[in-house]
């Protein structure tokens, strides 16, 4: 489990919000039972993996990013720093 108080950085606006803020805002967008069931909490490391194909809404700029594009910042925990971090713009430049 990842702590809800770590800072998560948006690839679009480069601002940070706590993992809990990202998580709760995105969960609030799940409008039906199927979406709620499919929702993967950001506290799970797999939320940051490409294959999970999860999307989260930025509490600052309200754009959506893949979990794999988010990065955890302001921590010395190497395990957390390894998660996510795919470039946001790289999506369509390289395809």
Q: Which residues in this chain contact Zn ion in the complex, by CB under 5 A?
A: 10, 12-13, 58, 60-61
Of 63 and 79, which CB lies nearer to Zn ion in the complex structure? Answer: 63
Q: How many CB atoms lie within 10 A of CB 45?
A: 16
Nearest by Cα to 19 from 27, 11, 29, 9: 9
Q: What is the Cα gyration radius of the chain? A: 13
Of 69 and 83, which CB lies nearer to Zn ion in the complex structure? Answer: 69
CB of 84 vs Zn ion, minimal distance in Å: 14
Of 13 and 35, which CB lies nearer to Zn ion in the complex structure? Answer: 13
CB of 44 vs Zn ion, minimal distance in Å: 21
16: which DSSP letter? Answer: E
- Match 């971090």 to its residue by tokens: 85
CB of 72 vs Zn ion, minimal distance in Å: 15
């Amino acid at each position: 489990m990842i702590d809800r108080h770590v800072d998560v950085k948006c690839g679009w606006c480069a601002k940070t919000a706590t993992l809990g803020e990202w998580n709760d805002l995105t969960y609030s967008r799940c409008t039906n039972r199927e979406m709620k069931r499919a929702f993967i909490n950001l506290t799970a490391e797999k939320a940051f993996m490409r294959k999970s194909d999860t999307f989260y809404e930025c509490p600052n700029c309200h754009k959506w990013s893949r979990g794999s594009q988010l990065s955890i910042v302001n921590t010395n925990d190497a395990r957390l720093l390894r998660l996510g971090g795919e470039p946001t713009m790289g999506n369509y430049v390289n395809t």
